[in-house]
Amino acid sequence: MKKKNGITFGELRDLLLDVGFSELPQEQDRLRFEHPVSGTILLFRPHDPHEAVSHRDMVVVRRQLVDNGLMEGAGFDRFLEKASA
């Protein structure tokens, strides 16, 4: 089931802020989120808060959060299930 692309940008933004990312002012055509402790940077095209995030972007975000020790894979999967419900 690919319910993962039902996550809105607003939900993803809240998750990123909850795990310690800072949202930086928009640069050109990119939204930038930076995690100061790990040095992780995530870039997105501008989104409306109610717009669905692409499956590809969700895969990249999950990988960055898990690989950089900011969240466990199971925790990210619970976020996806809860947000998609």
In the chain, the DSSP E strands lie at: 22-27, 30-35, 40-44
* pLDDT tens by residue, 13-57: 999 999 999 999 887 889 999 999 999 999 999 999 999 999 899
Mean pLDDT of 47-76: 94
Q: Beta-carbon neighbour count of residue 53 at 10 Å? A: 21
Residues 25 and 22: their CA atoms lie apart, in Å, by 10
Domains and CATH numbers, the chain: 3-84 (3.30.920.30)
Measure the CA–CA gap between 76 and 63, rounded to whole angstroms. Answer: 10
Q: Which residues contact 45 (CB under 8 A, 6 or more apart)?
A: 29, 30, 31
For residue 2, name the pLDDT band (cuts at 50, 70, 90): very low
pTM, rounded to two decimals: 0.87
- pLDDT score recorded for residue 3: 40
